[in-house]
Amino acid sequence: METKKTGKVASFFRKLTGNHEISLALILILMFVVVDILSGGTFHTFGNITDIFRNNALTLLMSLGMLLVLLTGGIDISITGVLAFSGMTIGLMMKNNMFAGVPLPLRIVLFFLIATIIGTVCGFINGIIIAKGKVSPIICTLGAMYVWRGMAFIISNNSWASALDVQGFSDFGKEGSVGPYIILIVAFAAFFVLMKWSGFGRKVYAIGSNKEAARISGINVDRVQIAVYTIMGALSGLAGALSVSIYASGQPNMQTGKEMDVIAACVIGGVSMSGGRGTVLGTLLGGIFYAIVYKALPLVGLESIWQNLIKGVIILAVVVINVVTQRTMKRRTLARREI
């Protein structure tokens, strides 16, 4: 009787530690409680939590596209370049009072649409070069990062869109507006369905696990790859518009280096860099984990200059812990087989 009970506990424990999402969620809850106590109960307020999501909306949004790209075994580091280019374009459009005659709600939609289309085109070009030109993803997107960031600087011509220029448009993303949350919720819901229950999602997983096997089983690998990078581009474009809206300004150097944050959020969420492993839920948790750490540091009493150091340590710790648990799990299953 007793051995059965301990066996049950052990298997329950194994389930907890074996599943990345569950263990991550537990760590998140634990961290949340600890930070809340340390900050004297100011952390779990509604305003603070919505703030966390608003400040990290861009990372969360783009991490969805990055999930797809990483699942196919690729990587996209051009996303912030695309973001800057599309954001700068609509910023300059607003500066020059384009579409000033269109009523405001429609104008907001229009600008979002333009930014998304620009992003989609950029992503499509990436996809074509990677899938048809057989260029390795990191090199292609590295080049694209330079090109689009440079284009953002060139079209801006040393000027930038100020808060006054983007007045009206910034109402969509300003504090207290529900706009960014709606975009996030819709995007996550759509991707959850897409990755779990659609043929396309299954194909992405298949390609990531084994490209050759996927090709032989009749999946058009090139087409899926192009689609994945195009989706990534579209999300980056959308994030460009969202960035202009939330931060009420458009600068050519906006969000520099953020692509690494996006990749880090995915990796913390359990997405494998070699492809084929990772879920939407994990990505969401990874993004939230990152966001909470960022928000919690000042509350715990560390100055903001410490943020990067802590961030780096967390990324390293997560990947190392992942490898160590995988090793022990493998050893355990091997030992069981021997018996």
Partner 1 sequence: MAGKSGRSIAYTPERSILKRILSWEGALVIIFIGVLVMGRIMSASFTPENVLREMPKYLSEILIALPMGFILIMGEIDISVGSIVCLSATVATFAGNAGIPFPVVILICLATGLACGALNGFILTRWPELPPMIVTLGTQIIFRGIAEVSLGAGGSASYVNSKDLDILGARLGPFPVAFFAVIIAAVIYIVVLSKTTFGRKLYAIGSNRTAANYAGIKVGKVRFIVYTLAGLMSAICALFILTTTYGANTTTGQNYEMDVIAMCVFGGIATTGGKGNLFGALIAGFTIVCLRIALGLNNINTQLILVIIGLLLIVSVLISSLTQSDFFKKRQLKKAAEKSAKKEAEALNKPLE
Report the nearest approach of partner 1 to the CB of residue 77 (Å). 8
Cβ–Cβ under 8 Å, residues 317 and 59: no
In the set 313, 331, 332, 333, which binds partner 1 (CB under 8 A)? 313
Q: Binding of partner 1 at residue 329 (CB under 8 A)?
A: no
In the set 252, 269, 282, 287, which binds partner 1 (CB under 8 A)? 252
List Cβ neighbours of 116 (8 Å cut-off, separation of 6 or more).
Answer: 86, 234, 237, 238, 241
Residue 200 tokens, joined: 């396309």
Task: With contacts defined by CB under 8 A, name the span among 43-51, 100-108, 168-176, 302-310 that binds partner 1.
Answer: 302-310
Site string for partner 1, 166-205 (x = CB under 8 A): ----------------------------------------
Report helix angle 104-131 to 79-95, nearest 10.
150
Report the nearest approach of partner 1 to the CB of residue 82 (Å). 12
Q: Closer to partner 1 by CB, 25 or 147: give it.
A: 147
Report the nearest approach of partner 1 to the CB of residue 178 (Å). 32
Q: Binding of partner 1 at residue 113 (CB under 8 A)?
A: no
Q: Binding of partner 1 at residue 213 (CB under 8 A)?
A: no
Residues of this chain, 153-172, that bind partner 1 according to CB under 8 A? 153-154, 157-158
Closest CA to 57 of 251, 287, 292, 252: 287
Q: Closer to partner 1 by CB, 194 or 273: give it.
A: 273
In the set 305, 334, 335, 339, which binds partner 1 (CB under 8 A)? 305
Site string for partner 1, 70-109 (x = CB under 8 A): -----x----------------------------------
Q: Binding of partner 1 at residue 264 (CB under 8 A)?
A: yes
Cβ–Cβ under 8 Å, residues 225 and 310: no
Residues of this chain, 118-147, that bind partner 1 according to CB under 8 A? 129, 133-136, 138-140, 142-147
Percentage helix, strand, coil, to 5, in the chain?
A: 75, 0, 25
Residue 98: count other Cβ atoms within 10 Å of its Cβ.
15
Tokens 């994945």 map to which residue?
228
Tokens 């620009």 map to which residue?
118
Closest CA to 56 of 283, 301, 305: 283
DSSP output for 94-133: HHTTTTTTS-HHHHHHHHHHHHHHHHHHHHHHHHHHHHTS
CA distance 234 to 211: 24
Q: Closer to partner 1 by CB, 2 or 303: give it.
A: 303
Task: With contacts defined by CB under 8 A, name the span among 29-37, 149-157, 163-171, 287-295 that binds partner 1.
Answer: 149-157
Counting beta carbons within 10 angstroms of the beta carbon of residue 25, is it exposed (0 to 12), middle (13 to 18) or buried (19 or more)?
middle
CA distance 41 to 249: 33
Report the nearest approach of partner 1 to the CB of residue 296 (Å). 16
Q: Binding of partner 1 at residue 324 (CB under 8 A)?
A: yes
> Nearest-5° angle of CA 29, CA 328, CA 325?
30
Interface size with partner 1, residues (CB under 8 A): 48
Q: Closer to partner 1 by CB, 173 or 252: give it.
A: 252
Residues that bind partner 1 (CB under 8 A): 75, 129, 133-136, 138-140, 142-151, 153-154, 157-158, 252, 257, 260, 263-264, 267, 273-274, 303, 305-313, 315-316, 319-320, 323-324, 326
